[in-house]
Amino acid sequence: DAGVIQSPRHEVTEMGQEVTLRCKPISGHDYLFWYRQTMMRGLELLIYFNNNVPIDDSGMPEDRFSAKMPNASFSTLKIQPSEPRDSAVYFCASSSQRGLIRRGETQYFGPGTRLLVL
C-alpha cells in the first residue's frame, strides 16, 4: 500500500485566499483524522471521521475551517479565507478499527502539507 497520501506537500498563498488540502487514506481504513502542527501549539487534532461521518470537530479553530469526506478514499480540509496564523503543517492520518474493537489501533500518518500564508 502507498500509505496515506496528502497533496499538495507545500502550499504558499496570500492572506484571504482559499486553501484546500487533500488526503487519501489507506484503503480499507474507516477512521480519518486531520491534525495541525505548529511550534507554539504542538500537534492538535482538528477533526476526525468514522465511515465518512464527522465524529468530533471540536478542534476546528473557527468557521473558516471546514472538512469533508465525500467517500472512503478522499477527504479535504478547506480554509477560507486563509490568514497568516493558519501557517502550519497539516497532517492527515487513518486507522482501521474494524474487527479489532478491543485493541488500540495504530494511526498511520501522511507526510503532511506545509502551509505558509503570507
Partner 1 sequence: AQSVTQLGSHVSVSEGALVLLRCNYSSSVPPYLFWYVQYPNQGLQLLLKYTSAATLVKGINGFEAEFKKSETSFHLTKPSAHMSDAAEYFCAVSEHAGGTSYGKLTFGQGTILTVHP
Q: How far is the CB of 50 from partner 1 (least distance, A)?
A: 6
d(CA 24, CA 110): 9
The stretches of the chain forming alpha helices (DSSP H) are none
Asked if residue 107 binds partner 1 (CB under 8 A), the reply is yes
Half-sphere exposure of residue 86: CA atoms within 13 angstroms, side-chain side: 29
Which one, 1 or 102, has the nearer CB to partner 1? 102
* Rounded least distance, CB 86 to partner 1, Å: 19
Closer to partner 1 by CB, 43 or 118: give it: 43
Burial 86-110 (b: 16+ CB within 10 A, else e): bbbebbbbbbbeeeeeeeeeebbbb
Among 1, 42, 63, 99, binds partner 1 (CB under 8 A): 42
Count the Cβ atoms, other than its own, within 10 Å of residue 55.
12
| Grid cell locating 68 | 469533508
Residue numbers 50-79 binding partner 1 by CB under 8 A: 50, 55-56
Assess 25 for contact with partner 1 (CB under 8 A): no
Q: Is there binding between residue 31 and partner 1 (CB under 8 A)?
A: yes
Q: Which spans of this chain sit near partner 1 (rule: CB under 8 A)?
A: 4, 31, 33, 42-43, 45, 48, 50, 55-56, 91, 93, 95, 97, 101-112
